[in-house]
Chains A and B, each alone.
Chain A
Amino acid sequence: MDLGCGRIPYLKYFIFDSPKSFLTATIMSFITAQDMELTDGSRIAVIGGGPAGSFFSYYVLEYARRFDLELELDIFEAKDFTKVGSSGCNHCGGIISESLVQELATDGLVIPSDIIQRGIKTYTMHTEQGTRKIHAPTDERRIASVFRGCGPRGCLDNSLKGFDNYLLGLCQENGARLILEKVTLLERTEEGVMVGCSKSPLRKYDLVVGAVGLNPKALELFKGICPSYSLPEVTRAYISEFLMKPRDIEKKLGSSMHVFLLDLPQITFGALIPKYNYVTLVLLGKDIDKDIVQNFISSKAVRSCFPEDFPVKKALPCQCYPYINIKQGNHPYADRVVLIGDSASSKLYKNGIGAAFITAKAAASTVIFEGISESHFEKYYKPKCSDLDKDNRIGKLIFWVTRIIQKSTILKRGLLGMVGKEQALEHSALRMSSALWDTFTGSAGYRNILRRFLHPGLLFELAKSTLVSNISVINRHSHEKQEDRQTL
């Protein structure tokens, strides 16, 4: 029984103002604490079977095994990830970052080759002034491009396997039960939370985990049992998949992710991600719409990544305008309830799957090793979300500076010059290249990236490169003008 005073340790003493009452309160507090821990036979409902839900389920069952704790865990997922198109997809660019690939491998989770659409080994930066290739710090493919579902709409290749389904399979192997139904009701009772679906009967759970992404209806359901929770702020991104011949992808894009720093309104970041026989276009920014997309794909830099005869504008790809998290939700927990992944906190513009991994694992270790009360989540889970939030604030600053660079021809020339010089020299410090690599790949935190961008050596070299590149362009132009005059 919860007296509702769990977060203020000695409040119970003041309410019960006699030694006898204090003793009663202490015993009740002990009972409450016992009650707010998972024990053998406890039941967990995970609502949402995307990466956040699956990572949570996998690790909670893994930790429980190490802890000799027997749990029952049900994953509720309305989508069937074995289907092609929107009905089996969680709408995402599908990049597994370098850091996540390494962390999963350390944990013994080797992503199978049939899930990986392509191993990425370089990033190509495009601007109106030119392109530069940035090589991985090691001669190794450590970034994976994947499909979240079973391939884009119209895909006829039935051998395709998606990342979300692979993770769900791991959870099922670990003992989770998958219920392919939409949750329609969440209701708090004295000793648990009732979960209701359209077809299955109501069932009581000791803990309910929300991994519903940014689905507004599902988040509202959680608000009912998690009253202090405020929803994350969102904006719309754009994702589309172009079907292309693998030979053309190899020739035009290779195993390189192409990022675009173009002076186009409302676009903070644009990228083309090569897969085996598809190319994924991702646009991030503020409320991306059809016109912005057309503007982007018509640009010379983007067109250069497709074969000349490829009808980019008329390709009618599988496309979507998914919500992305731009400001984390507040207080994503209550007694017996915790929200994870995008529903709680994410990484600004990058590595959403990596952020889902961080929040899911933090929630899993909290519920197994600490407890499932609001105060447990406040003490052990909240710091991880706050850390992501603090990092995102720095990220906003980095993307603000990126926008300034995007708009400035002079700075872009300097940036291209510096990256080109670093990549050409064998034993170069690679200050700019490695900072850009981590910005594009999402492999490092924004605080770490900012620190490196502010390195005096980097700033000096950038200033020098900006000066040299622009003087050489001015000289070239005046030389050309002189030649023109002489010809006339």
Chain B
Amino acid sequence: MKSKKIGKLYKDGEIIVKQGDKGKCLYVIQEGRVDVIHETPEGDKKVAELGESEFFGEMGLFEDDVRSCTVRAAGEVRILTIDKRNFFKSINRDSSLAYRLLEKMSNRLREANEKINNP
């Protein structure tokens, strides 16, 4: 039934995005879960767990900077890549495509603020 799915399959523990790498895509989880890990000299720290229909790598779309975290498959996971160029072409045609991204980024900012205020 592998043929009945879309996206790319990653095995358990496989790294999808590596902290420090340059990235120009957004990733949307089609199936499964991923762990978002912040690598520090003191060791790895899991900062989030994301599931189906959630996305990651959005900073790579807006900033010409390196990936801020590593994302690793937590079990078998299927991911769809959204190219930066396609993404901006679509946004240019239909600005409402950015709503969900803004909504989610705002949620993540709020969560980060809460973590800072209540460590």
Contact = CB atoms under 8 A, between A and B. Distances in A.
Contact of A361 (B53, B87, B96, B100): B96
Contacts of A144: 6
A451 to B, nearest CB: 13
Interface string B80-98: 1111001100100110110
Interface stretch (A115-123, A192-200, A404-412): A115-123
Nearest to A63: B96
Interface stretch (B25-33, B40-48, B68-76): B25-33
A446 B94 CA distance: 18
Contact of A140 (B8, B53, B55, B87): B8
A96 to B, nearest CB: 9
Given A101-B80, A138-B81, A140-B81, A106 B87 contact: yes
A106 B103 CA distance: 12
B96 A365 contact: yes
A361 B55 CA distance: 22
B4 interface: yes
A365 B98 CA distance: 13
A102 B82 CA distance: 6
Contacts, number: 89
Nearest to B52: A110
A276 B4 contact: yes
B101 interface: yes
B6 A106 contact: no
Interface residues of A, number: 34
A108 interface: yes
A108 B103 CA distance: 12
Contacts of B90: 99, 102-103, 106
Contact of A111 (B6, B26, B94, B100): B6
Interface string A91-105: 000000001011101
A63 B103 CA distance: 13
A255 B7 CA distance: 13
Contacts of B31: 110, 113
Contact of B4 (A117, A139, A143, A361): A117
B80 A142 contact: yes
A108 B7 contact: no
A99 B6 contact: no
Given A102-B90, A105-B80, A119 B53 contact: no
Contacts of A255: 3
Contacts of B4: 113-114, 116-119, 276
A361 B95 CA distance: 11
A68 interface: no
B33 to A, nearest CB: 13
A119 B31 CA distance: 14
A358 B86 CA distance: 15
Contacts of A109: 53
Contacts of A59: 96
B115 interface: no
Contacts of A110: 28-31, 52-53, 80
A54 B105 CA distance: 27
A101 B6 CA distance: 9
A103 to B, nearest CB: 5
A66 B99 contact: yes
Interface in B1-57: 1, 3-8, 26, 28-31, 52-53, 55
Given A110-B28, A140-B80, A361-B94, A102 B7 contact: no
B97 A119 contact: no
A358 B87 CA distance: 15
Nearest to A116: B4
Nearest to A365: B96
A108 B96 contact: no
A287 interface: no
B86 A119 contact: no
Nearest to A119: B6
A107 interface: yes
A107 B7 contact: no
Contacts of A102: 80, 82-83, 86-87, 90
A339 B32 CA distance: 39
A479 interface: no
A59 B97 CA distance: 11
Given A110-B53, A140-B80, A140-B81, A116 B6 contact: yes
A379 interface: no
Contacts of A248: none
A106 B3 contact: no
Interface string A376-415: 0000000000000000000000000000000000000000
23 contacts: A101-B80, A102-B80, A102-B86, A102-B87, A103-B90, A103-B94, A105-B80, A106-B90, A107-B97, A107-B100, A108-B53, A110-B30, A110-B80, A111-B6, A116-B5, A118-B3, A119-B3, A140-B6, A140-B81, A141-B5, A141-B6, A143-B6, A276-B4
Given A141-B5, A358-B94, 20 more contacts: A66-B99, A102-B82, A105-B30, A105-B53, A106-B87, A106-B90, A108-B53, A111-B6, A113-B31, A116-B4, A116-B5, A117-B4, A119-B3, A119-B6, A140-B8, A140-B81, A141-B6, A142-B80, A362-B94, A365-B96
Interface of A: 59, 63, 66, 99, 101-103, 105-111, 113-114, 116-119, 138-144, 250, 255, 276, 358, 361-362, 365
The 7 closest A-B pairs by CB, nearest first: A105-B28, A119-B6, A140-B8, A141-B6, A110-B53, A102-B82, A108-B53
